[in-house]
Amino acid sequence: MSERTPEHRYTAELAGQIEARWQDRWESEDTFASANPAGPWAAPDDPRLKKGHTIVMDMFPYPSGAGMHVGHPLGYLATDVYSRFLRTTGQNVLYTMGFDAFGLPAEHYAVQTGQHPRVTTEAAMATYRRQMRMIGLSHEQRRGFATIDPDYYRWTQWIFTQIFESWYDESAPARRGSGTGRARPIRDLVTQFEGGERSTPDGRAWAELTARERSDILDQHRLAYVSAAPVNWCPGLGTVLSNEEVTVDGKSERGDFPVFKRNLSQWKMRITAYADRLVDDLDRLDWPEKVRLMQRNWIGRSFGSDVTFGSIPTVDGGTTGLEIFTTRPDTIFGATFMVVAPEHPVLAQIVPPAWPEGTHPAWTGGAADPRTAVSTYQREASSKSDLERERHDAKHKTGVFTGAWATNPVTGTALPVFVADYVLMGYGTGAIMAVPGQDQRDWDFAKAYELPIIRTVQPTPEHPQDEAFTGEGPAINSVTDGLSLDGMGVAEAKEATIAWLEEQGVGTRQVTYRLRDWLFSRQRYWGEPFPIVWDADGIAHSVPDAMLPVKLPEVPDYSPRTFDPQDAQSSPEAPLARAGEWVEVDLDLGEGLGVQRYRRETNTMPNWAGSCWYHLRYLDPANTEAPVDPAVESYWIGPRPAPVASAPPGATDPGGVDLYVGGVEHAVLHLLYARFWHKVLFDLGYVSSEEPFRRLINQGMIEAYVYRDQRGFPVPAAEIEEHPSTDGGASTYTWKGEPVTQEYGKMGKSLKNVVTPDEMCEQYGADTFRVYEMSMGPLEQYRPWETRAVVGSQRFLQRLWRNVIDEETGEVAVVDDAMAEATDKALHKTIEGVRADFAALRTNTAIAKMIELNNHLTKLDVVPRAAVEPLVQMVAPVAPHLAEELWSRLGHADSLAYEPFPVADPAKLVEDTVTAIVQVKGKVRDRLEVPADIDAASLEALALASPKVVAIIDGAPVRKVIVRAPGLVNVVV
């Protein structure tokens, strides 16, 4: 016979009823609404405004049609627990969620089906909202939005116009603190030109220039501008791709089409103007060090020297120089050849029609002449991504001799100039002096092409003779007239070399950056339209604020024009270009010209645009006059009185979101772009904070078992049969009768191992799902998913339920008797530990402490109300529906969402006894329970009287007893 289930047991079915009821109540009462000091939602009399405030954010999700799997809510649950806890401490908590809804997935679906991307996206958002409500996330619903909402992207476009109408003045005093450099309105630059304070490039007066000439000059300064530059052109997709959308094999991430480097005119943002601030301000943020390092490496600030290698004959009979940047000018004595990037413009000047006499056959690439060799190599290099070109692979170092020679300005030696794809045009000057003795890539190239190798730094004795030496050591082989570096350390040698180069006029001290200006346009439909129109002279004008938002038109075809995947010479044609009535418009821009005919910009912004500033709109989403009211921004994310703990001495707090949680995959681009936009808005006076995100935590990833068939293809994990071993060994697995292998991997559709929150809530209830996911380990760690282990979390909640509710009658079973001393101490110890754990986002250890206390209560004959009510309050952030239900049944009419968190009595945290360790001959021989305030003499006497210690000593003389009361006694015999 099966065991009868009591009528009032906490089951998945009962949990579902409780959860739906409380979710409805929270929504109807707007339980989680926070208070603003100003703006459309001003509530200046709300007492929470005087009790401290915290804004907690998750990274914007992009809603996929399939909805969430159990890995997606990991960070969301952690921030929800934290937000719920903070509310019980009196904090005014802003916690909400929106959607990053422009992007490729919906557009590709539209191309395939003809369904408008908005329809697909809104359906996906509805699924996400349902799931987030189902698992009890305490988002403030009224603050949520999507980037596709016109009321939102109106302000995205407005911010773009502010950036477009701005320039970076390196000499202007910083808005806050010492130093110089900030964004200023472009009209200030025009005033400088008009007044003669700043000269035009050719010296003519500003009034003498044509409108187009003025525009061209201003574009050289604007923070948003159009420029022809090398981009990743994918003919098969018909669009330009960002670097992150190109695989290491030079193919498009989506579709696997060839990608070529092309010089095309594209919108860019002058993020490079902020490179130093973006690097330096990282020290003022409470971010994981690995993320800060990734941003520093991406920006790539390097200190060194520009050096000109001269006397290169040109095809027109003259000579030119080749400028390089090096962080190690001290190694210039070891330069044995030069390398330029395939895109370098100098190649058009220096490649001769024939090979110089005596050219090494290995240098020619098998070509009959240098021009054929170089042009062929350029075509081959154009099909490789930057990642592929940078990848260190000694076996595949390629390049060809250009036929030109450059002169080393220090040694006077003639050096062959090669073109090779491991040098990128986007870093430094696009040319390098190759020093194989001190650089492994140069070493590999030198070996492949039989070029000389000269060491200029003495290797350590154990260093392999067949490798470049990149460490520290004294300079060697570095002497010429007027400059001797031999014996110097690297730092001293660098300074001496730079001084000599500057004195000779062939080099200058320089700082360079790996960071390039941000490519900011896409040939796609589903993105924010640019608020830009072009006049008949090809001059760009920003659309006046009153004409925003510029909305997307309806188009018959959502796909950009595609080309033969190998047609590298094709050019982009965006879908918006086909909307003729939308593109060609008659407007009065308010510039005194009346109504004129203009052409709209037909590219759209990248999907990064909407996520650059959404943290600001969360603060004031109903504001129709500004992106955010200044007083609201200052209240929520303005600078704090004290900097973060890790900030350097003398640093000030930059402000920003109190806690930002998201995946490390966004460690560079999203965070870098958001920081750039925020700093521009700060410079222009629109915000008081200098940084968008003050504190960052990267949550780990939930992994799940992946099962692969004999071909190595994933098969559905839900259809796997396990076959336990009969001899205690490992289980084996089959799918449809065929053996499969088992491994851990990322959860996802492609690996066919998805488990959804819907399944978990149906089988166990949302609170059980929340407790399990939060108890799996520290937030930052990766953790394996095991559905069978969820039952442990369910048992915890069932025991808690039984400690309050009689399963047979459904009545409250607690008593109003006083707690026993042991229970009282256990309660206060738990309160102290759980409070500290919640505050530090250690939810997994908080759950462990609550389970321990709950188990203690389970063993009692009757459960005191005074013990269980604080436990219910502590459980509430993790299992909010169950906690609300128990709180209500215990006789409380109000929600416990704001009920003050229990406070531990310090007097009840004092331990009456402690465990003293007794060691003899360095090994633990006994453990004694002793009074916490025992004195050293008494502890020594107890230790020496211990039967175990007496047996070990066995009459041997005691030489010394070391006592550390009350916890340790060490007996030396």
Q: What local confidence, expressed as pLDDT, does residue 395 receive? A: 55
Q: DSSP per residue over 224-252, as a string? A: EEEEEEEEEEETTTTEEE-GGGB-TTSBB
Q: What are the pLDDT digits (tens) for 883-899? A: 999 999 999 999 999 99
Mean pLDDT of the chain: 93
Q: What local confidence, expressed as pLDDT, does residue 921 receive? A: 85
Q: What are the pLDDT digits (tens) for 822-877? A: 999 999 999 999 999 999 999 999 999 999 999 999 999 999 999 999 999 999 99
- pTM summary value: 0.85
Q: What local confidence, expressed as pLDDT, does residue 557 receive? A: 83
User: pLDDT band at 244, cuts 50/70/90?
Assistant: low
Q: What are the pLDDT digits (tens) for 176-189? A: 988 999 999 999 99
Q: At residue 59, does pLDDT exceed 50?
A: yes
- Mean pLDDT, to the nearest integer, of 789-807? 96
Instruction: Please list, in sequence order, all residues whose beta carbon lies within 8 angstroms of the beta carbon of residue 85, skipping any fewer than 6 positions away.
Output: 838, 839, 877, 901
Q: How far apart are CA 154 and CA 545, in angstroms?
A: 9
Q: Which among 328, 282, 277 is positioned nearest to 307, based on CA atoms?
A: 328
Q: What local confidence, expressed as pLDDT, does residue 746 receive? A: 86
- Mean pLDDT, to the nearest integer, of 24-41? 97
Burial zone of 354 (CB within 10 Å; 0-12 exposed, 13-18 middle, 19+ buried) = exposed
Helix (H, G, I), strand (E, B) or coil at 3: coil
Q: What local confidence, expressed as pLDDT, does residue 374 receive? A: 96
| Token representation of residue 939 | 């502890």
Q: What local confidence, expressed as pLDDT, does residue 243 receive? A: 72
**Where do runs of H (alpha helix) occur along 435-549?**
440-448, 490-504
Instruction: Please list, in sequence order, all residues whose beta carbon lies within 8 angstroms of the beta carbon of residue 821, skipping any fewer than 6 positions away.
Output: none
Q: Which residues of 599-609 are buried (b: 16+ CB within 10 A; e: fewer)?
A: ebbbbbbbbbb
| Token representation of residue 154 | 């109106």
Q: What local confidence, expressed as pLDDT, does residue 387 receive? A: 65
Q: What are the pLDDT digits (tens) for 365-414? A: 999 999 999 999 998 888 776 767 776 554 567 899 999 999 999 999 99
Helix (H, G, I), strand (E, B) or coil at 964: strand
Q: What are the pLDDT digits (tens) for 338-350? A: 999 999 999 999 9
Q: At residue 61, does pLDDT exceed 80?
A: yes
- Mean pLDDT, to the nearest integer, of 205-222? 96
930 within 8 A of 939, measured Cβ to Cβ: yes
Q: What are the pLDDT digits (tens) for 470-520? A: 999 999 999 998 899 999 999 999 999 999 999 999 999 999 888 989 989
pLDDT > 90: percent of the chain: 80
The secondary structure of the chain in percent helix, strand, coil, rounded to multiples of 5, reads 35, 20, 40
Q: Can the peptide bond before residue 621 be classed as cis, meaning omega within 30 degrees of 0?
A: no
Q: What are the pLDDT digits (tens) for 632-690? A: 999 999 999 999 999 999 999 999 999 999 998 888 899 999 999 999 999 999 999 99
Q: What are the pLDDT digits (tens) for 414-471? A: 999 999 999 988 777 899 999 999 999 999 999 999 999 999 999 999 999 999 999 9
Q: What local confidence, expressed as pLDDT, does residue 1 receive? A: 43
Q: What are the pLDDT digits (tens) for 147-175? A: 999 999 999 999 999 999 999 999 999 99
Q: What local confidence, expressed as pLDDT, does residue 929 receive? A: 87
Q: What local confidence, expressed as pLDDT, does residue 535 receive? A: 96
Q: At residue 220, does pLDDT exceed 50?
A: yes
Q: How far apart are CA 665 and CA 251, in angstroms?
A: 20
Q: Considering only 347-361, 391-405, 683-697, 801-815, which range has the smallest mean pLDDT?
A: 391-405
Angle (CA) 500-502-506 rounded to 5° is 95
